[in-house]
Amino acid sequence: MQQKQKYIDSNPSEKRDNRLFAIVCVLVVAAVFSYGVMLESEKNKISGQLVITTEKIDANKPVKPYLPDISGITVEAVEKMAPPLIKGNIIYGSVTPYPEFNKFMKGGEARRLRLIQHRVKPLALIIAEGSYSWKMLYDEVHAFDPEGKIIDREGDIYTLRVPFLVSDGASLVISGDDIAELRLSMQANAYLANSGEFYIIRTKVIGWDEEKQAASSFINEDYYRPFIINWVGGKLYLAGSEFISLGYLKGKSYGISYSACISCAKVNPNKPAPTGIIVGNRFTDLYYGFYSYEAEDVAIVGNIYDNNVIYGIDPHDRSKRLIIAKNETYGTYTKHGIIISREVNDSWIFDNYSHDNIGSGIMLDRSSVNNVVANNIVEYNGQDGITFFESENNTTWGNVIRYNKKDGIRIRNSWNIKLYNDEIEANDGASIEVYSQDISDHKKRDLDLDHFTQRANAVVNGAKISTSGASVFKTKMAEYLKLTDVDIRAVTNFFPASFKYDRRLLRDNIGRDDVMIKIVNPDDIDVISEP
């Protein structure tokens, strides 16, 4: 009997097919492995291969930047500036002849005022000529308004119930000597406008809800609240006073504003920029604590900005030579404590305390150049300590930046940024981040108005850094980061762990004042270049 085979051999063609299949499998595995290696290589490349070079320099310390003398900017000095009193001309008449009202006679605000007054051409109170105290003004108005429909009085508390203007060539002093509190009626669409000379000294101004008999606290951005506007040609001086619950989201109606005026310029194109002094005041629950547009030489000194809605201090478009010093800004609900934005140039931000704001403590934004940020304390903010966005040629000096939720200092699309002698401690992000970024797809950015250059670099000299974040420095798509005499006071990564660089060279030279370390990411060289 024939024995059965234990195994059945495949035919030769089947063997060839199996061998071919095995070879294909090996090739596929090899390809996948190679692709994985390539991806890992690309990952390392993207993470950052840093080139570090050193250069001997003179061990001279950097020169402290110029800061203006503010010793003469006081409440007492503003009091002495007030002009002598001269009786002039008070008008209670149509807003139509006065270009200072034009901005507010459009849209919902104008419709509301017409309905309140039952007039197509609403009425306002105007100081057309003369130099008045509040008492002089009230006495003259009360003579033709005994029922208090324009200005109501209860003791030394007054309620204004119409739009109000100090016109070009006139002046008004609202002083605690005459008035304890000025209430601007929300229900009457009251507000204060100035194109003359206007002083508010040692008193209180409140946006007032007459129905609730309480301050007109912020409800939403479209809800009308009274405001103060200083137009072109105007000088507004606020000293030793308190301002509460003013402003909402309507152009020039933000709270306290210093602004150019298109309608006014058509009448007189030679008027000087709005200016003034804001010293020793408190601003609470304003939509913007301060806003400016093409203002010049405004001094904002020694004020408290607390619990304001969008910003504490927000100089804007082409304002220049501003002094922002010795202010405390905190509790801002939505954004930053102090921000300058869109060509706010040649200004000084120093000796401020900006803390516990939802956004950054201090921000320089949108082509704001040639500014000095010095000796500020910036802590416990929800974003960065100090931020530079699209703003070149700026300098810091001696700031204390600590306990912020993001970076200590963040620099985006900004170059020639010089950081001197700052103390940066325990921020959640990097101590200093420098990078460029394509922001052309930013939904809210008008690239014609707010152009940008994808370029960034910074010089750090004399910094003292302690960090609890992932790294001391972070850089991407930047021309360079230069370091001299940097004191690293905590054990942490110099750069994120995925970056490759000569740690020994960096460690051995970073604290020297006679060596400049230059850090470049060669992967970025093809998209940016150093001049």
221-263 pLDDT tens trace: 999 999 999 999 999 999 999 999 999 999 999 999 999 999 9
349 is a domain residue: no
Structure tokens at 469: 């974040």
Report pLDDT for 46.
Answer: 38
286 is a domain residue: yes
- Per the CB < 8 A criterion, the answer to whether 310 and 287 are in contact is yes
Sign of the alpha-carbon dihedral angle for 205, 206, 210, 213: negative
**Torsion angle in degrees (nearest 10) through CA of 212, 213, 218, 222:** 60
CA gyration radius, the chain: 31
Structure tokens at 455: 């370029």
Helix (H) or strand (E) holding 123: strand 123-133
Report pLDDT for 33.
Answer: 43
Report pLDDT for 222.
Answer: 93
- Per the CB < 8 A criterion, the answer to whether 457 and 478 are in contact is yes
- The single residue listed with the structure tokens 């700031």 is 399
331 Cβ contact partners less than 8 Å away, ≥ 6 residues apart = 306, 307, 308, 356, 357
Q: Could you give the number of structural domains in the chain?
A: 2
Query: Residue 451 catalytic?
Result: no
Shared domain check, 380 and 260: no
Shared domain check, 50 and 110: no
Shared domain check, 189 and 103: yes
127 is a domain residue: yes
Shared domain check, 392 and 249: no
* Buried b or exposed e, range 345-367, using 16+ CB within 10 angstroms: bebbbbbbbbbbbbbbbbbbbbb
| Amino acid at the residue 87 | K
CA distance 120 to 387: 48
Shared domain check, 107 and 52: no
24 is a domain residue: no
Q: How many other CB atoms sit within 10 Å of the CB of residue 305? A: 29
Query: What letter does residue 245 receive in the DSSP assignment?
Result: S
The values of phi and psi at residue 5, to 5°, are -70, 135
CA distance 194 to 430: 45
Shared domain check, 103 and 51: no
CA distance 264 to 272: 11
Of 191, 175, 195, give the one whose Cα is nearest residue 183. Answer: 191
> Which of 309, 325, 341 corresponds to the end of one domain?
309
Phi-psi region of 117 (alpha: psi -120 to 50; beta: other; left: phi over 0): alpha
175 is a domain residue: yes
Structure tokens at 279: 């010293």
Q: What is the pLDDT of residues 389-443, one digit of tens each?
A: 999 999 999 999 999 999 999 999 999 999 999 999 999 999 999 999 999 877 6
pLDDT beneath 70: ranges in the chain: 1-48, 443, 523-531
Report pLDDT for 142.
Answer: 98
In the chain, count H helices and then E strands: 6, 43
Structure tokens at 183: 């209430």
Structure tokens at 357: 């704001």
Shared domain check, 105 and 57: no
> Which of 309, 336, 353 corresponds to the end of one domain?
309
Report pLDDT for 469.
Answer: 86
Q: How many other CB atoms sit within 10 Å of the CB of residue 32? A: 10
CA distance 175 to 261: 27
494 is a domain residue: yes
Q: Which parts of 226-349 fold into alpha helices (H)? A: 262-267
Shared domain check, 122 and 54: no
Helix (H) or strand (E) holding 515: strand 515-520
Shared domain check, 176 and 50: no
Shared domain check, 291 and 377: no
36 is a domain residue: no
Which CATH number belongs to the domain containing residue 202 in this structure?
A: 2.160.20.10
Active-site position among 118, 316, 336, 442 = 316
Query: What letter does residue 531 receive in the DSSP assignment?
Result: -
Rounded to 5°, angle at Cα 107 from 102 and 109: 75
Of 195, 187, 135, give the one whose Cα is nearest residue 164. Answer: 195
Shared domain check, 239 and 114: yes
Report pLDDT for 8.
Answer: 30
CA distance 411 to 43: 24
> Which of 273, 290, 309 corresponds to the end of one domain?
309
280 is a domain residue: yes
Helix (H) or strand (E) holding 76: helix 75-81
| Chain-centroid distance, C-alpha 140 | 42
Helix (H) or strand (E) holding 12: helix 12-47
Residues spanned by the domain of 248: 77-309
Shared domain check, 130 and 57: no
